[in-house]
Amino acid sequence: MYKKSILSASILIALSQGAYAEDTSTFNEVVVSATRTNQTMDTVAASVAVVSEKDLEENMAKDLNDVFEYTPGVTVNGTQRQGVQSINIRGMEGKRVKILVDGASQPGVFDGGPYSFINSSAVTVDPDMLKSVEIVKGAASSLHGSDAIGGVVAFETKDPSDFLKDGKDFGGQAKLSYSSEDNSFSEHVALAKQFDNVEALVAYTRRDGSELQNFAKAPYDDYSVTDQDYYKNDLLVKLQSQLNDDHRLEFLGEVIYNQTDSDIASSSYKNFNAEDTTKQNRLGLKHIWFADLAISDTITSQLTWISKEENGVTNRFKEASAGHPPWVPANGDNQQKKDYEYTEDKIEFETQLDKEIQNHYLVYGLSYKHSDISNTNREFNSDPSTPDKVYVYTPDAKEQSFGLFLQDEIALLNDKLILTPGVRYDYFSTDPSDTSDESFKKFSDSAFTGRLGATYKVSQPGTVFAQVSQGFRAPSFDELYYTYDNPGHGYTNRPNPDLESEKSLSYELGYRHNTAASATEFALYYSDFTDFIDQTSTSNGGLTEYTFININEATVKGVELSNSLDWHAIASLPQGVTTRVAAAYTEGEDGNGNPLNSVNPWNAVAAVNYDSPNALWGTSLKVNYTAKKSDSDINSDGNNGGTKDQVALPSATVVDLTAYYKPMKDLTVRAGVMNLTNEEYYLWNDVRGETELSRDITQAERNYNISVKYEF
C-alpha cells in the first residue's frame, strides 16, 4: 500500500496552503469530507461533487444559489424576505444536511413559522471567501453524526498561502463586481503576509443590492417583497504557523453582519415593512500534531465557537375600521411592531487520529457539541385595545451531542480493491426550559451507525464503487417543542417531545471512467428512511392543528450521470475546447405512497467551454434544463405533508453565456449574460406549498454580470 500517512500529511499541509486542482475534466480534486481522509475523487466510494474556486469565478457566483446552480441534485431553499435558508441534496434538506465551514458545523436552520417573521439560515459565508465546496450526496452519519443523514456540504475558506506563492512574502487580490439581477455591487479584498514562520490573512467582502429583478408586476400577492435593499459584510482573519516539523497551529476569526430592509405587499395593512439582520461571530483554533506515535501518525484537534443572532423586525400599520380584534383595532389606528429574535451560541470540539498499519489506514476520534438556543418574540401595538404580547414559539433549549467514530481503509489485491468499513456512536440530548405556560420534557437518544464502502479498479481507467450506509438524525428542538396558538386565524401548533429519531439505510452503486481526455461517472442510489419526521395537520374543533410526527417510512431513489470531455485530445479540435454534461433524477415517496414534495424534478446541465492556449481569454455557454413536476409527482394531501391543490411546475431551459479576458498577467475581466433567452421560469423550492403560479416568485429576467479582479 502506498504510504498514505505521508501522503495525507503532505496533502493536509498543501490544503492549508491552498493547493487544489483546477482541472475540471478529471477526478483529481482532493476531497476530505466523504471519508475524513485526503483522497482524490476517483478513489472515493461515494458520490461527491466539488465546486472549486475556478468554478465559482467562472460562474460569477454571488450567492449560494449561484454556487450550486450547475450541480444537479443540489438546490437551495429560501424566502424572498430572508434569502437562502438551507440546502437540498437528493430531496433531503434543512437539518438533514450537515453544513461545515472550515471543518466546523454551523448553527442549524430555524423556521419561525408562516409569514417569515423570523428565520435563520444554516449558511452565511460569502462566495468570494471560498476556495472550494465539497458536497457528499447521501447519508454520512457514520463519520459526521446526526445531521448528515441526507449528506454533507463542506465549505473551505481561503488561506494565507493561497496568495503567498512563488516565494513571495506578500500577496493578495482585489475584486469589484456588479450584477443587474438585483442591482448589486460587491467589493472584495484579501491581503496575505508572511512573518517568519507565521502566515496572516485579512479578507473582507461587502455587498449592496436590492430586490430580485424578476417578472413580477403590480398588483403583488400578499407577503411578496415589492422593494428591498440589503448589505452584507464578511470579515475573515487567519493566522497560521508551522511551529516546527511536528506541530502546526491555525487560528481564525470571522465577523459577519448582514441587513435587509424590505417593503412587503399586504391587502390588510396600509404599510408593511421589515428589517432583518444577521450577526455571526466565529473563532476557531486548530492544532495538527505529526506525532508518529504507536497510536497515531497524525492528531488533528479543532475547537470552534460560533455565536449567531437573527433579528426580524416587522412594522405594519392598520387603519381603524369596522371589525374586531385582532385584525382591526376597535378604538383607533394601530402601528404594530413585531420584534423577533433567534440566537444560537455553539461550541464544538473535535479530535481525529490517523494511523497507517501495513495495508490498513485507520481514522478514529471523537466530537462534542453544545448549543444554547433562544427564541424571543415580542409584539408592540400603539392602539390601547390591542395589548402588547410575548409569543413563545419554542422554549429556550440546550442541545448536546457526543460522538465516537472509527474507520478502517483496507487496501487489497495490490491496491485494486479498497474496502472502507466504519462505525460511529452518537449520543444526543435536548433540554428545554420551562415557560410560564408550559413544561417540556427532556429528549435524549443514542445510536450506532455503520458504513461499508468499496472501490475496485476493473481496468486502468475504470473503477466501480459501492457503499451501504446507515443514517441517524435526532429531532431538532423546534420539531420537538414548536408551539403557537392562533385561533383568530384558525390554526394551532402542538409540540411533540415523544418524537423518535430518524433512521436510514442507503445503497449506492456507481462507475467512474477517467482518462486524460475524459471523465465519466454514473451512480444509482436507494435510501430507506424509518421514523421519518414530517409535519401533519388535523381538524380539531374548527381549528387546524399542526404537529410533527414520525411517519412509518419514506424512500428516495435515483440516478446521476456526469461527463467531461477534452475535444482537442479526442477529435483534434482546437486546444481548449471542452464540454461537460451532468444530470440527476430523484424520486421519493412516504409510506402511504405519496410523493415527497421535497424532491426536485430531474434536471441536467450542459456546458461548452473554450479557453485559449495562452490562457488570455475564454468563454462558456451553459444550458440548465429543469423538467416539469406534474401532479403525479406531487403530494396534494394537506393532512399528510402535502399542500391541497398544489400547483404543478412547468419545465424550463435557462441559457447563460460568460467570458473572460486578461489584458495583463494579474488582471482578469469577466462578463456574463444570464438567462440569455429571457425565460420566465420558477424553482420548485419556491413553488412548493403554492396553489397557483405567481410572477412574484419567478426567477430573474435576462441580466448582466461583470467583474474585475486584480491579483498581486
Angstrom CA distances, 299 to 96, 494, 644, stand at 29, 46, 54
Q: What percent of the chain has pLDDT over 90?
A: 75
Query: What region does 112 belong to: left with phi over 0, alpha with psi -120 to 50, or beta?
Result: alpha
Residue 638, φ and ψ in degrees, nearest 5: -65, -15
pLDDT of residue 167: 87
Label residue 128 exposed, middle or buried (CB < 10 Å: 0-12, 13-18, 19+). Answer: buried
* Sole residue written with cell 411578496: 224
CA 673 remoteness from chain centre? 26
In this predicted structure, what is the pLDDT of residue 11? 38
pLDDT of amino acid 356: 96
In this prediction the pTM is 0.93
- E-strand spans in 384-442? 389-391, 397-412, 417-432
CA-to-CA distance for 334 and 270, rounded, in angstroms? 10
Sheet holding 104-105, edge to edge: 47-52, 130-137, 151-157, 98-101, 104-105
Mean pLDDT of 533-548: 82
pLDDT tens digits along 9-43: 443 443 333 333 334 445 567 777 767 878 877 78
Q: Which residue has the cell 396558538?
A: 485
Residue 352: which H helix or E strand, with range?
strand 334-357
Q: Which three cell numbers stand for residue 490?
A: 384558525
pLDDT tens readout for residues 193-204: 999 999 999 999
Using only C-alpha atoms, what is the Rg of the chain?
26
Grid cell 414534495 — which residue?
A: 597
Q: What is the pLDDT of residue 328?
A: 55
CB 97 within 8 A of CB 87: yes
pLDDT tens-digit profile of 485-508?
777 777 888 899 999 999 999 999
Provide φ and ψ at 241, rounded to 5°. -140, 130
Which stretch of DSSP H or E encloses residue 229?
A: strand 225-242
User: Peptide bond preceding 432: is omega within 30 degrees of 0, i.e. cis?
Assistant: no
Asked if pLDDT for residue 331 goes beyond 70, the answer is no
The predicted structure's pLDDT at residue 330: 56
- The better pLDDT of the pair 41, 468 is held by 468
Is there a contact between 537 and 637 (Cβ–Cβ < 8 Å)? no
Contact of 448 with 424, CB cutoff 8 Å: yes
In terms of Cβ atoms closer than 10 Å to its own Cβ (0-12, 13-18, 19+), residue 487 is exposed
More confidently predicted of 249 and 7:
249
Average pLDDT on 562-583 reads: 95
Task: Please state the φ and ψ torsions of residue 5, each to the nearest 5 degrees.
Answer: -65, -40
340-to-112, 113, 396, 665, 684 alpha-carbon distances in Å: 9, 12, 14, 50, 28
Which of these ranges, 113-127, 211-225, 647-661, has the smallest mean pLDDT?
A: 113-127
CB distance 346 to 371 below 8 Å:
yes
| pLDDT tens column, 273-302 | 999 999 999 999 999 999 999 999 999 999
3-class DSSP string for 252-311: EEEEEEEEEEEEECCCCCCEEEEEEEEEEEEEEEEEEECCCCCCCCEEEEEEEEEEEEEE
pLDDT at 329 over 70: no
For 535-583, what is the HEC assignment?
Answer: EEEEEECCEEEEEEEEEEEEEEEEEEEEEEEEHHHHHCCCCCEEEEEEE
Give the angle subtended at the CA of 208 by the CAs of 106 and 55, to the nearest 5°: 60
**Do 594 and 642 touch, CB atoms closer than 8 A?**
yes
Non-local CB neighbours of 267 within 8 Å, separated by 6+ positions: 222
Give me the residue label for grid cell 433540554: 431
The domains found in the chain, sorted by start residue, are: 4-502+515-711 (2.40.170.20)
The three three-digit cell numbers of residue 319, written as one number: 387603519
At CA 165, angle to CA 160 and CA 166, rounded to 5?
160
State residue 491's pLDDT score: 81
Are 668 and 660 in contact by the 8 Å Cβ rule? The answer is yes
Least confident of 119-128, 343-352, 355-364: 119-128
**501, burial (CB in 10 Å: exposed 0-12, middle 13-18, buried 19+):** buried
How many whole angstroms separate alpha carbon 411 and alpha carbon 504?
A: 28
Q: Please, what is the average pLDDT of the chain?
A: 91
Instruction: Retrieve residue 669's grid coordinates.
Output: 475581466
